[in-house]
Amino acid sequence: MYIRNYHRRFNTVFLLFILFFLFCLTRLLYIQFFRSNYLAEIGKKQHNLSVELEPRRGTIYDSSLHPQAINITVDSVYASSLEIPEKDKEAIIRKISPVLNLDYAFLRDKLSRKKSFVWLARKITPAQSEALKSLGIKGIGFIKETKRCYPNAYLASHIIGFAGLDNVGLEGIEANYNNYLKGEPGFALFLRDARQKKLDLWEEMVLPRDGYDVILTIDEVIQYIAERELDKAFIATRAKGASIIVMNPHTGEILALANRPTYDINDYKSATKDEMRDRAITDMFEPGSVFKIVTASGALEEQKITEGQKIFCENGSYQIASHVLHDHQPHGWLTFAEVIGQSSNIGTSKVAQLLGPNLLYHYVKAFGFGARTGIDLAGEIPGSIKEPRYWSKTSIACVPMGQEVGVTALQLANAISAIANGGQLMRPYVVKEIRDKLGEEIKTFSPVLIRKVISLDTAARVRKILIGAVEEGTGKLAKIDGVSVAGKTGTAQKLEANGTYSHNKFIGSFIGFTPAEDPQIAIAVVLDDPHPYYGGVVAAPVFKNVAIDVLRYLKTKEPLVLSDNE
């Protein structure tokens, strides 16, 4: 009996052992063939830390290779919540919250995540970094990253734009050329010991590709001169807004572009939408008398009139259909050159009637109005000009003097440049070259001719008329001693909300180029609702002051490229 019971117990134990062995063998085979990859991945996560390697964002330079947007190295803070004991997290949050200026709930949420890597704060200040490092908290680590910095703060802010926290361009050149500037990120797989401490060893690494550098057509010195003078006028006239553009009329290169109000790119989060708006390409307005260059050019090109031909200006009052047209001061008989120089609305409308609606519309479009210039900046608008079939009976009088047409400051600068360079409408641009970090050219941008607008002879004749407008006409405050200037003033009534013209809100402007016989620069100045409001009073002096200093500066540099027509 005893022996029989013993054998039964032995067989039972042996059977259980065999079953256990088979279970373990089955489990082992299951793990080996079905769960091996999953468990190996867990092991990797425990002993490997994958870190993205940020590329260097390309530098933005002006035309003289002065940096306008650069990168500086700063610390970013991360936490490995798996390394931090649960009992210590409350105390750690209280310590780091005031240092990083982060909300308690935010940090609590971050540290409660069961992750080996979670960002706490990106691109902190050196003072914050030092304060945090002095606390010596286990589970809090630092990674070097680059932060975008703009050494000139306000200068050319509407052209350069800015990049966000992740070095992605959000405005201006930073956004338009982001694909060139950003580069390609890499990564490194670092080893960690059993305590999850990062070792200075890496298992695998792919180096990042740094971004390309962008070289602008903007000249830092010319930009400064333009902004300085625009700012003075903006403040002195209590204007609502202001824009200035300085161009090389032969190539379309933008040498300076500025707006007021403006903002510090380093503190773009504090800027308002009004301050960030690039008014030179996004704001449409009726241009007023500066638009008379279109009628003058078209009439001469079509041989409808000559400079010396006399026009009766009706002593300041002239009725067209149901509309009575007035001049700012009465004139009797004026030559055509004097009509433009003295900015007679009546004389200009009579010349426009000789030209006719269809031809006038043709030259408006030929000079680039009603279409985007194609500048390499985002947000440009085309402006507005109705086809002649939609014109009223008074449109033939209104359009020539800059009413019933919407333009941008850039379009005005481009149009006056076409007269300066002999009749060629060029495409404006602000980027002339893209290079890699070794200085090798990746892409270059050359002048682009949009179309031939008027003949060389007509451009020369209009130039002489515009010289007279400065010497003897409404643009006298743009005169420069010893240097010839060609230009045109403009004073336009703004439209009220009900569609009528305001009697106390105006756009004051001046467009011109100098030296008139051998133009090096073309400038457009526009002031929105200045006091006083006449373009010859508020905008012409800005042109003069900018032109004097820019011409003096250009004497120290190589001469600008001139067209074959000059």
Cβ–Cβ < 8 Å for 117, 62: no
Q: Which two tokens mark 176?
A: 């338009």
Please state, in angstroms and rounded to a whole number, the distance separating the CA atoms of residues 334 and 378.
44
**Tell me, what amino acid is at 446?**
S
**3-state secondary structure at position 290:** helix
Cis amide bond preceding 532, omega within 30 = yes
CA–CA dist 217, 215 (Å, integer): 7
Select which of 63, 157, 289, 343 is catalytic: 289
DSSP symbol at 308: T
Q: Give residue 73's Cα distance to chain centre.
A: 25
The two structure tokens encoding residue 172: 């201006």
* Residue 274: Cβ within 10 Å count: 11
State the angle between helix axes of 409-420 and 456-471 in degrees (0 to 180), rounded to the nearest 10: 110
DSSP 371-406: S----SSTT----EE--GGG--TTHHHHGGGT-SEE
Q: Are 490 and 527 in contact (CB under 8 A)?
A: no
- What radius of gyration do the chain's Cα atoms show? 35
Give the angle subtended at the CA of 102 by the CAs of 101 and 105, to the nearest 5°: 150
Q: Which amino acid is at 204?
A: E
* Count of Cβ atoms closer than 10 Å to residue 490 Cβ: 31
Which of 330, 343, 352 shows the shortest CA–CA distance to 487? 343
Q: What sign results for the dihedral spanned by CA atoms 431, 437, 440, 442? A: negative
Query: 3-state class of 330 per DSSP?
Result: coil
DSSP, collapsed to helix, strand or coil, labels residue 57 as: coil
**What is the C-alpha separation between 347 and 349, in angstroms, rounded?**
6
Mark whether 134 is an active-site residue.
no
Length of the chain: 566
Question: Beta partners for 527?
Answer: 242, 508
Cα–Cα distance, 78 to 118 (Å, whole number): 5
DSSP letter for each residue of 522-545: EEEEEEES-SS--HHHHTHHHHHH
87: Cβ–Cβ under 8 A, 6 or more apart, which residues?
A: none
Distances (CA, A) of 322 to 28, 63, 392, 502: 99, 53, 11, 19
Query: 440, exposed or middle or buried, with CB in 10 Å at 0-12, 13-18, 19+?
Result: exposed
Between CA 510 and CA 540 the distance in angstroms is 6
Question: Rounded to whole angstroms, what are the CA distances from 151 to 60, 161, 264, 357?
Answer: 11, 13, 10, 51
Which among 460, 454, 481, 457 is positioned nearest to 470, based on CA atoms? 481
The Cα 502–Cα 492 span in angstroms is: 10
**Catalytic residue IDs:** 289
